[in-house]
Structures are given as C-alpha cells and as structure tokens.
Structure 1
Amino acid sequence: MVKRLLRSGLVIATALTAPFTLAAVAQAQQSNAVNTLPPALRAAVISGNGQTVTNVINTLSGGNVQRAGALAQQVVAAAESLLATNPQAAIQAAAAAVTIVQNTPVQTGAPQQTQTVVTTAARIFVSPLVQQVNPTLAASVATQTLAVAQAAGNNASIAAVATAAVATAERLVATNPAAAVQLASAAVQAVAAQTVSQSAPQQTVEVVTAAARIIVQPAAQAAAPATVASISTTVVQVVSNPVVYQSSPQAAISVMSNAYTAVTSQAVTAAAPEATQTVTQSLNQASTNTALSQANNTNAAQVNAILARTTTTTQQTETPQATTQQQTTQTAQNQVNTPPPVVTEEPPVNTSPR
C-alpha cells in the first residue's frame, strides 16, 4: 500500500514538474544562444535595435568577411531562441543578420554561414508571433532573405524561402494589402525561374496557389492593381508548365481560376487592360496542351469553364482563408525547419555558433 502511494506520488510529481522542466530547458537554450555572443553584440541583440546589431557586427568583424558571416550566423541563432519570449527582438536581430549576408563578399567568402542565416531567418519571419508584433518588418526581412537565397542560387533554398515569404504575405493582406501583393510578387518571380520550378514543382505550386488567393481579394486588387495583373499572368504561365501542373493538377486549375478572376476585375482591367488578353491566351493554350490533358483528362473542360467565367473563385468556395493561411504557414515552417550543415571557415567568434 505504502509503495503504491509512493509510486502514485512520484507520478503526480513528475506530471506537475514536467512543464516547468520543459520551460527551464527552453530558457536554458535561449540563454545559451544569446550568451555565446560577444558582450557588445549580446547587448545589441537584447536591446532589440537591428541597426545597432548591424553596426556591432561590422565593428567586430573588422572587414573580415568570414568573421562577419560567423557573427551573423550566431546572431540569427540567438534571434531564433528569442522567438517565444521576445519576437520583436528576434525579428530585429534576424533583419541585421540578413543585412550582413546581403553583401556579396560575405556570400562569397562565407557561403555556408550565409545559407544558415537564410534558412533560420525564414523560420523567424514566417512565425505568427513575429508577424503579430511587427508584420511590416517581417515582410521586409522576407523580401531581403529571398533576394539572398536567389543570389546564392540554391534552388531548394529559393523554393523553401519563397514558400515562407508567400505565407507571410497571405497573413499580411488583411492589414497591408499593398505590401502583401509586393511580397507575393517577389515569391512568384523567384519560383517562376525554370531552374526552380523544374526542380521543386510541388513547392512552386504551393507558392503560386497562395499568391493566387491573395490577388483574388478586392483589397489586393485595389491596393496594387498593376502588380496583381503581373502576378496573374505569371502564375498562369507557371502552372501551365507540364512539370508543375502534373504535381497537382487541381491546384493548377485553382490558380488559373483565381488568376482569371483577378485579371478581369474592374480595378485590374483599368490599370492593365492588356493583362486580360495575355492570361486568356495562356489559358487557351493550356486547354489544348496535350501534356496537361494527359495529367488531367478534364483539363480542357475545366480551363474552358474558367474562360466562360463559370468556375467560381476557389478562395471563396473551397477553403476558408484563415484555415488555408494556417496550413500554408505550417508548410512553410516545415520546409525551412532543417538548416544545412555548417562549415566554418575560421574558428568561431568567442564560442561555436551552433
């Protein structure tokens, strides 16, 4: 009896203390990542002033690009550890790290550190916590990170960062539709490159599908009609690529439907009347494309229905927007979840970055 009571008490005690233990572990991880920074850099990160963080990195690196890359890598690791407790400081520090690796000499001299910064920054800017406290900076960091990924030329990284960027844009559209459209446009252009779409067709579909959900919204059309027109023409061309189309035919049809709805809206037609003709021509070609029909035997009928304006907007009828945004964000977080191995060209600054 006594033994049973002791065992029961142990189980209860374990259950009660487990959450505190997990919290302690998380706190320890955060403290470790921040404490590995040099004192001046640690103070700058904790202050939440991104410009100060950038200045301190430049000072400490003394023009050594490998050291700058290593410091940026340490900073973005510290930033990620701050996400749960101080998302504002996290996105400011991430912005500083991305600013450092935007420099071409750093990308060339510290490519592995640059890749780690890109991967980690994407996990930070796509976080709902960050988007809640500073959506404008999140969008800015997303744009910068995507540009660095494109400069590095890693197709898998470009696709993953573009997925995170468009997820960020979709969360932003309700409060800042103009910024959302611009970010969605950058993401679409990134995956529109043939090398990216051919090597990552599923992620390409995810990016253009989310972008099409953005441009079909009246607020987006009113805020940036010319950019909406450009996105409309591009996403239809992207999903008309047989490799991309075959990865998800019905998603491709959904993109075509939303793009056609957007480009034929009053606001977009007034701003870019030629876009309707371009999209219509692309859809006509898609309806007779043998490769597309082989992947989807109803392709011709579905595309012709879009042209007849009988296909309803999928953003309204198929998936509630809030649920879709959550799914897109989760997908984006999963895709940037595992950073590549890090090779440090010189001994770490103060302590090992990771």
Structure 2
Amino acid sequence: MISPGTPQPAGARVAGRPVVAWIPTGGTVEAWGHDRLDRTAYGESGRWRHPRDILADLPELASTADVRLVAPAEAERPRPPSHAWTVGDLLGLARSVARTAADSEVTGVVVSCGTNGLEELAFFLSQVVGAGTPVVVTGAMRPASALGGDGPLNLLNAVRVAAHPRSAARGVLVVFDDAILPARDVTKTAMYRLGAFRSPELGPIGFAGPDGEVAFHRSTEGPRTGPPFDLDALASVLPRVDVVVSYLGADGALVDAAVAAGAAGIVSAGLGAGYPTPAEQRALERAARKGVVVCQASRVGSGRVVPHAGTRTGGFLTAADLSPWKARLLLSLALADRRPHAAIQQLFDVPVTDVPR
C-alpha cells in the first residue's frame, strides 16, 4: 500500500515563487541499475535513489519553483512496483494528491510513478481529483544510472508544467519526453523507448520546451467545474470489474469465470470496432441477465466504440474512446457511486475536448 506521509520542504522558501509538491511513489525514476547499460533489469538490482538525493542533483528546479517533497512512509526503502498496485492503492494515492492540492500554499502537484501503471493512475486521478490545482504525472523509461537516463529531465519538466499558470483547470496532465498529454487519452505505446507515452487521437496539448518555456497549443472547450466523482464519498473498496480480452475463437469461459468470481462489471476488450466473438457475446448476455454491468470496449489502440447490434441486443454500455483498462476504472467508480445505466454511458461519452486555440 502506498501511504504518503507529511510534506517536507526541499529548501528555504522564496517569497513569490510557486510551490510545487512532489509525491514520489517509486518506479524507474528512483531506480539504480547494475551498470550504465542496464535498461531492463534495474528493478532486480536492489538499488534505488532516495527522492531527497534526486532533488539535490537537480539545482535547476530552483529557477522554476520551490519543490516540497511529500515523502511516503516507505521512502526509506523501495516501494512496490506500479504493476503491483491495486485499486485500493490508487484510492489511497488519490486521497494524498487531493489533500496536497488543497493546501493553499501549493501551486501544483507532481506525482512520479512507474510507467507500468502510469496511464491508469493518471486517468483515475482525473476522475476523482479537482481541476483547480494542476496535477502532473510523470516517470522515466530509463534509470538515472543508465546512459541517457530521462527521469531528471521529465521531473524538471513536470515541475515546470505544474507551476505554470496556464496549467490550472486542465485536469490531470502527463508530462513525458517534453510532451504534455491529457490523462483521458494518454497511453503507453512502447516498452523501452523514451517517447513511449502518446495521445493517439489528438496528440500532445503542449510541450515543455528545451529553453524552459511551457507552451500550450490547445485548450479545453470549457472550464472543468470538478471531477466526476466525489473522492470523500467513495468506499475504501470499489466494486470488482474484470476485463476480458477477445481473440479469434475465444469462447465464453473467461466471461463466466468473471461472473463466478463476483464481478459487478465486465469490460469486453473486443476485436476491431468492439466486437466480441459469438460465444463471448452469448456469455456477456448471460452475465447481463444476472445483473452484471457489461461495457463493450476494443483492444485496438485508438478510435471510438459506438453502439452496434450486439451492444443493443445485450443492453451493454459502450466505452467510446476509452481503453479497456481505463473503462474498467471508470465503470468501477460509477458502480460504487450507484450511477444509473444512462448516467454511466454519459461518462463514457464525454469526448476529449481539446480544440485548437
């Protein structure tokens, strides 16, 4: 479990300078490999860098903001990798982000994490944390010990974006490889490349430039009034939602297994434009008749799933432009909030509203 502790100032406060709170949760940005060519097995080295040391090695931060370290209780030892996180971990981290963002002295919040869980964390935060204080998620593809380590620059750019006045009211952002990306659309597209995070549909909404400037070239159609879900009202355990991925010849066994395991919802990651196999369709319809809420998504990396004959017959929700993994989180939150079917569909149908300014 990730359990952030109390804020710790990184240095003396300078009057008038923005204050950016950094919540480190582990991951490659804190890892230290076996040698300078270790870009894959560094998680097995047992070596890592304390966030305080990372800040000490980044004096360039001082020209942007006073960085306040919100140190997790586990900061004296390696934290669980992001692929080990549970939804409960996301809830705990979200509550820490919300508390930190509510501090009147804090201009923005940066969360660093492992890239395996980054896109799901960013999306989850976007659903439960308000938009008034910028929240920026970042990480690294290479440990600082490797040739060409990207963590320090990603962290510096994330602080720059979090401190920028035009970042407010944009929701949760991801900063990676100079690009500023929206939480709803961002996804990891490569295992090891520095530019692994992309926004397939609309691209970046801006960039953290090599000269230190932050430039936004798109803005939202209208200001966000608040997150879709009230974090304080959510229980500590959210309803179980499983993802079933389709492939040619798939039967309904995994759908039936999810129902037997107690799933309150199932996200079908269908083929193509969101089509399960005929056997899966029948199993999903059986699940729906038992009260399981079914959402039809697609395993394809971009595009929208729209209603079709199968979803109408089964009474399924459609995931619109959300990936199956993000659809799972949204459905779990909606079920916890006891939203009616039509209201849940409206949440999925909210488009990425970034438009040219």
1 or 2, which has the higher strand percentage? Answer: 2
State if a TM-score over 0.5 links the two structures: no
Larger fraction in helix: 1
Could you tell me the TM-score, scaled by structure 2's length?
Answer: 0.28
Q: TM-score, normalised by structure 1?
A: 0.29
Q: Specify the structure having the higher radius of gyration (Cα).
A: 1
Higher relative CO (CA 8 A, sep ≥ 6), structure 1 or 2?
1
